[in-house]
Every structure is written in C-alpha cells, then in structure tokens.
Amino acid sequence: MNLIGENISYKPDNEYHLNNISFNFKKGNLYTILGRTLSGKTTLLKTIAGLINPNSGSMHFEDKNFSEIPVWERNVAMVYQQFINYPHMNVYENIVFPLKQRKVSDEQIKKDVNEALNTVGLVGFENRKIQELSGGQQQRVALARSLAKKAKILLLDEPLVNLDYKLREQLREEFKRIFSEGFSQETILIYSTTDPQEVMELNGEVIVLDEGKILQNGPAKEIFENPLNLKVAEISNDPPMNILKGSKVSTKINLDNISIGLPSHLNNLADEAYNFGIRASEVKLDENGEEFEIELAEISGSETLLHLKKGNTKIIALIEEVMNFKIHEKIKINFNNNKFYAFDLNGNLVSSPYGAING
C-alpha cells in the first residue's frame, strides 16, 4: 500500500515550511530526501509521522485518511539526528517499549528484540544503560527500536549527522546492508540528509527539497546526471557545481575571460547566453590550460579543493591528490569539456552531458 501525499502545505506564522508537496511512496522502497538545512526535510518527516498537522493537503495510507489518525496510532517509526533513547531505561527496555505499548506477546517480543539487536550489531548489550553507550551505539539502539517495531513507515532524519566522520562512514555501510537485505518488503523507508554523497551511496529514489518545495525527484543516478535546474545542481553537489556565465558562439563557449571549444553534446544549442555548469571534479590540472590564481587550498582526506580565480571567474577544482599549494600561486587548469552542463538564464536545464535535452 502506498503512502500518498497530496498538496500538503504547512504554514506556521505565515511562512511556508512545506509548500504544496505531493508524493507517492511505495512499500519496499528507499526514498532519500535531499535538501539543505531548513529546507523542510524534518518538517516533512514530522508531518508524515503526525507530529505536525499541515494546514492544507491530505495524506492517505492503506486507504485510510492519515490526517484523522493521531501519531500514536500510525504505524511509523522515527530515528532522530540527536540520539533519542529513553534515558531512564536500559537498552533492552528501550527496544521493548513500543512493542509493550502494542501489547505484543512475550515470545514475539523476545524474537523481535533479538532480531533487531542482531541487525544493528548490539547483541549482548541488553542490560547496558543508555548513558554508558557511545554516540554510535546510542544511534544503533534508536535504530533497533525502530526496526523491532516492524513499522510500515520508517523515517530517518539525518541520523548520521551528529556522528564523527569515521563512524558516519561505517554506519552508512551498515545502513546500506540493513536496507537492502534485512529489510521487510512491506516497509517504506524515508531517509533525509544534507549530504549529496550520502544520497548517491544509498542509491534510493531521491527527492530534492528546497524552501519547502520539491524541486525534482527521481532515482539517484538521474539526479546526478540531469539536475533540472541550478538550484538542484547546487544542492546535489558537494563541492557545489561551478556555474559560469557565458554564451555559445558557433563553435566556442565564451566564458568571462576564457574561450573553450564546444563540446559535442552542446552542438544543438542556440547561440545565446547560458549558465554553464561543470563539476569541481571535472576541473583538471593541465600545463597547457588556462592560468588561474589560487585563493584557497583545502586538503580534505586524500583530495585537495582549490578555490581558483581568474578575473571575475571563480571556480572550485577537486584534485585527487594531496598537494601543497600556496595562496596567490598561479596554476594552469583545464575543463573536461564533455561534462559541461548548459542551463538557460532562468536556471533550467537545457542540455546535459548524459543526454537529456530540454527544449
């Protein structure tokens, strides 16, 4: 049964937190909601959970009008970004709590709890107090509690954002495993995040949210290859996609002070002004390329992020090595021409390297 939302709007104090949102979530699928902070992700999740009542619109699940069902009767589970567990209970009691509320039989409880603990890798922790656990373990308990409920809708609101980097990577892997194998085909999984990389790794159906509106939705690959407009391109790329104003003039693209040969996939474009987009990862060091001045060099893991400037053009390049650069040093870079996007002056996608062409 699908979770269908129609024209949901939430407007407290005259400000739209959700603006005319519609969705159709099918069971057994993973949906990732991608958006920046304050874009409405948490609001949307809370609305589905029933903690927030929208001002307009409706939701249906299993043929029932959701708006008439209070939170405690909906079959949902939610994992928060702040590790929320019941502090006055130990791990076992925490996981058992929702099951006891639903008056599940004792044997069934044992089975479900053990299964959940197994899935999150916390077998043997039953008697520990919540305060004794680390952040990652606490979040796993929260997840176990949600899993044990066998809820039809599982909501996760940026569950990894408060964990340190290593833990985040580790848990992300585990999530992928849990979501693909250990999961019931009856459940709708909804996962929100600000991190585009997470979205790509989880590889679900993506919904891009900004200022309470859905900008685009589709499989992760689709969002990556064909962002429908500049906003989506901005939100779904980290570091943000470089957007350069320029125009196509017969066989060349003229950016502010650079001229580039026209990539073949842009042949059919009219000779006009556009916003051209290119990912930071598609900017390469090239001795024969254009000279840019380095404004900032950030080393991140095994990569280097270069903030470059030439005249009025500013771009970010992602170099896949660790290199020591000095500010104001000049280097030469070139673009991977085949990966240029073209957006019209209104910000809409006109042409993408992956084949979608919007008139």
Partner 1 sequence: MNFRHKFVFLFPGLFVLIGILIFPIIFTIRLSLSGWNSYTPEMNFIGITNYIRLFTDDPRFWESFFRLSFLSVSTVVLQYIIGFALALIVWREIKFKRFFRVIFLIPMMTTPVIMTVIWRTFFHESLGPLNDLLGRLGVEPILWLSDPVIAKFTVIIVEVWQWTPFMFLLLLAGLLSLPKEPFLAAAIDGASSFRKFVYVTFPLMAPISIGAIIIRLIEASKIMDTVFVLTSGGPGTATETSSFYIYIKGLREFQMGYAATLSFTYLVIMIISLTIIAKVLTKLMIKE
Partner 2 sequence: MNKFYTILKYSFITLWTVFIVAPFLWAVSTSFKDFQSVNSKVTYIPWLDFEPTLEGWKVLIKSPARGGVDIVEPYFNSIFVTCTASLISIVLGTLAAYALSRFTFKAGFVRNNDITFFFISQRIMPPIVLSIPFFIFLSTIGLLDSLVGLVVVYIVLLMPIAVWIMVDFFNRVPKELDETALIDGCNPYQAFYKVVLPNSIPGLIVAGMFCIIFGWIDFFFAFILTFTEVQLLPVKVVALNSSITPWWSLSASALVSVAPLIIVAFVVERYLSKGNLSGALK
Task: Output 48 or 331, the one with its CB closest to partner 1.
Answer: 48
CA atoms within 13 A on the CB side of 228: 10
Please, which of residues 127-186 interact with partner 2 by CB under 8 A?
A: 145, 149
Binding partner selected for residue 218 from partner 2, partner 1, none, CB under the kind-specific 5 to 8 Å limit:
none
Task: Output 50 or 182, the one with its CB closest to partner 2.
Answer: 50
- How many other C-beta atoms can be found within 10 angstroms of the C-beta atom of residue 313? 17
**Distance in Å, CB of 156 to partner 2, minimum:** 12
CA–CA distances in Å: residue 132 to residues 65, 88, 120, 162: 42, 12, 17, 17
Please, which of residues 58-87 interact with partner 2 by CB under 8 A?
A: 70-73, 76-78, 80, 82, 84, 86-87
Binding partner selected for residue 327 from partner 1, partner 2, none, CB under the kind-specific 5 to 8 Å limit:
none
**Distance in Å, CB of 52 to partner 1, minimum:** 10
Query: DSSP letter at 238?
Result: S
Distant-in-sequence, close-in-space partners of 4: CB < 8 Å, separation ≥ 6: 23, 24, 25, 59, 60, 61
Task: Work out whether 326 is an interface residue with partner 2 (CB under 8 A).
Answer: no
Binding partner selected for residue 249 from partner 1, partner 2, none, CB under the kind-specific 5 to 8 Å limit:
none
Binding partner selected for residue 53 from partner 2, partner 1, none, CB under the kind-specific 5 to 8 Å limit:
partner 1
Which of 101, 134, 180, 267 contacts partner 2 by CB under 8 A?
101
Query: Distance between CA atoms of 34 and 26, rounded to whole angstroms?
Result: 18
Task: Output 88 or 166, the one with its CB closest to partner 2.
Answer: 88
Q: Which of 229, 98, 245 is nearest to 253 (CA)?
A: 245
Residues in the site for partner 1, rule: CB under 8 A? 53, 68, 70-71
Residue 285 φ/ψ, nearest 5 degrees: -70, 135
Task: Output 70 or 261, the one with its CB closest to partner 2.
Answer: 70
Give per-residue burial for 13-37: e unless 16+ CB within 10 Å, then b.
eeebbbbebebebebeebbbbbbee
Tokens of 101: 């509320």
Binding partner selected for residue 68 from partner 2, partner 1, none, CB under the kind-specific 5 to 8 Å limit:
partner 1
Task: Work out whether 348 is an interface residue with partner 2 (CB under 8 A).
Answer: no
Query: Distance between CA atoms of 77 and 42, rounded to whole angstroms?
Result: 14
Binding partner selected for residue 185 from partner 2, partner 1, none, CB under the kind-specific 5 to 8 Å limit:
none
CA–CA distances in Å: residue 291 to residues 161, 256, 284, 329: 38, 13, 12, 10
Query: Distance between CA atoms of 40 and 314, rounded to whole angstroms?
Result: 30
Task: Work out whether 197 is an interface residue with partner 2 (CB under 8 A).
Answer: no
Task: Output 192 or 226, the one with its CB closest to partner 2.
Answer: 192
Please, which of residues 242-271 interact with partner 2 by CB under 8 A?
A: none
- How many residues lie near partner 2 (CB under 8 A)? 23
**Distance in Å, CB of 78 to partner 2, minimum:** 5
- In angstroms and rounded to an integer, the radius of gyration of the C-alpha atoms of the chain is 24
Tokens of 112: 């479900």
List interacting residues with partner 2 (CB under 8 A).
46, 49-51, 70-73, 76-78, 80, 82, 84, 86-88, 97-98, 101-102, 145, 149
